[in-house]
Amino acid sequence: MSTSKLAILGGIPVRDTKLNPWPKWPVWDQHEADALLQVLHSGIWSYNGPFETEFNHRFSEYIGCKHTISCVNGTVTLQLILEALGIGWGDEVIVPGLTWQATAAAVIDVNATPVLVDVLESNWCIDPQQIEAAITPRTRAIIPVHLYGSFANMDRILELARKHQLFVIEDCAHKHGGEWNGQKAGSIGIAGSFSFQLSKILTSGEGGAITTNDHQLAEKLDALRNCGRRPEHSLNDQADKGAGQYEDEGNFIQSGNYRITEFQAAILLEGLQRLPSQNEKRDKNGIYLNKLLSELNGIQPMYRDPKETKESYFNFAFRYEQEHFRDLPVSIFRKALEAELGVQVDSCYTPLNQCDLYQPHTKPSRHHLNDQYWEKINPENYSLPICEKIFHQNAICFHHKILMGDQSEMDLIATAIGKIYEQADVLSECEIE
């Protein structure tokens, strides 16, 4: 391994990003430009147009479910699913403590109580044992998040859900195309929630979608995302035509506008065509890189359950163990790695009991139903020791674009880590901001 001076101390980086830039994200070409122009010229710019209809159909086919309902983003999708399932005031919903704030904020937005539970150290996804311990007579649903390049243990979660008659809502914001035991994320629970925000592996800048096999739920969701209008036509599964028929309420319900535009749908259709091969490449590189990482001192790759038959990566993550690196804090290791590779190296999401962007108490006029509720939603009342350890000591995350290069690029990542390991003593003696 190289023993040249560390890049963070002025040495030559392992990777010359001027000569050899990282793959760019988002990926697009003339196909997107043509599709956007086609929408422009058609004058059909709003919702329920031909591109959206086609996208809903193709995405259902890809995920292996009966219905896709496109929405404005992957936060509202969670909120609408909860609302469509009749979850609200007095209900509890179990969510992992290590996720983007939207997973819990959506629960707050339907006036239910997000119950934060800890994650597994091995893969950073919700810990089934902690779920079981958190179930009360008020629990209505579990929202597992398939975080970064990991899968929540769906076998255990479904078993618990059956035993306690709970809904399982999959937060698939990171998992477009990932498979558990041959079944795609978003087709395993009652509904799946997807985000198409710019950094995601299928993107239209902003956007989201809900997947489900439940026709009545799909009809309700379609109305909820469209100002309460009931769907005029059967949704994208013709086989279910005529089912549903609004047994719960009348023809209209109260809601808002959470629709996407034809411009977004046109971009998504192009991205969807590329997604399977991009996922395949990321999965192959991920397996290769994890093998390299497993051979390095002080680095723990994420655990991959044998049931994860296809992995999809929003981020590529691994665990750093500072005791093997002369007690070099993880924040300095991330900076040193960034300097060697010329790419952003992040931590993971901030645990929700410490997260600046998860502040339910700042909406007192909307949510202050009574003191007991106020107390139950207080993030500080939740203990999440594993989430905190991961965040403060272990987390190393790269955007998925680093898995879109050649195998030789994966070698360079391992080389850079090895270089820092060899010179951890030098680095630990320097003052680095």
Does position 204 interact with ligand PLP (CB under 6 A)? The reply is: no
Nearest distance from C-beta of residue 73 to ligand PLP, angstroms:
4
Residue 96 · residue 144 · CB < 8 Å: yes
Bridge-based pairing state of the strands 92-96 and 139-142: parallel
Nearest distance from C-beta of residue 427 to ligand PLP, angstroms:
32
Does position 150 interact with ligand PLP (CB under 6 A)? The reply is: no
* Longest Cα separation, the chain: 72
Of 102, 328, 348, 352, the one binding ligand PLP by CB under 6 A: 102
Nearest distance from C-beta of residue 43 to ligand PLP, angstroms:
27
Q: Is 368 helix (H, G, I), strand (E, B) or coil?
A: coil
DSSP string computed for 17-62: TTTSPPPPSS---HHHHHHHHHHHHH---SSS-HHHHHHHHHHHHH
Does position 325 interact with ligand PLP (CB under 6 A)? The reply is: no
Does position 211 interact with ligand PLP (CB under 6 A)? The reply is: no
What is the Cα–Cα distance from 250 to 132, expressed in whole angstroms?
A: 37
Of 7, 120, 145, 292, the one binding ligand PLP by CB under 6 A: 145
Does position 315 interact with ligand PLP (CB under 6 A)? The reply is: no
Minimum CB distance to ligand PLP smaller for 145 or for 292: 145
Nearest distance from C-beta of residue 74 to ligand PLP, angstroms:
3
Nearest distance from C-beta of residue 208 to ligand PLP, angstroms:
5
Residue 141 · residue 307 · CB < 8 Å: no
Of 108, 173, 352, 412, the one binding ligand PLP by CB under 6 A: 173
Nearest distance from C-beta of residue 176 to ligand PLP, angstroms:
12
Nearest residue by C-beta to ligand PLP?
74
96 upstream amide cis, omega within 30 of 0:
no
Nearest distance from C-beta of residue 215 to ligand PLP, angstroms:
25
User: Measured in whole angstroms, how far is the alpha carbon of residue 263 from the centre of its chain?
Assistant: 23
Determine what percent of the chain falls in helix, strand and coil, rounding each to the nearest 5: 40, 15, 45
Position 375, amino acid: E
Does position 351 interact with ligand PLP (CB under 6 A)? The reply is: no
Q: Please say whether the dihedral angle defined by the alpha carbons of residues 232, 233, 236 and 239, taken in this order, is positive or negative.
A: positive
Does position 123 interact with ligand PLP (CB under 6 A)? The reply is: no
Does position 13 interact with ligand PLP (CB under 6 A)? The reply is: no
Q: Which of 136, 159, 58 is nearest to 144 (CA)?
A: 159
Does position 178 interact with ligand PLP (CB under 6 A)? The reply is: no
- Tell me whether residue 396 is exposed, middle or buried, using C-beta atoms within 10 angstroms of its C-beta: 0 to 12, 13 to 18, 19 or more: buried
User: Pattern of binders to ligand PLP over 69-98, x per CB under 6 A?
Assistant: ----xxx-----------------------
Of 171, 283, 308, 311, the one binding ligand PLP by CB under 6 A: 171
**Binding residues for ligand PLP (CB under 6 A):** 73-75, 99-100, 102-103, 145, 171, 173-174, 195, 197, 208
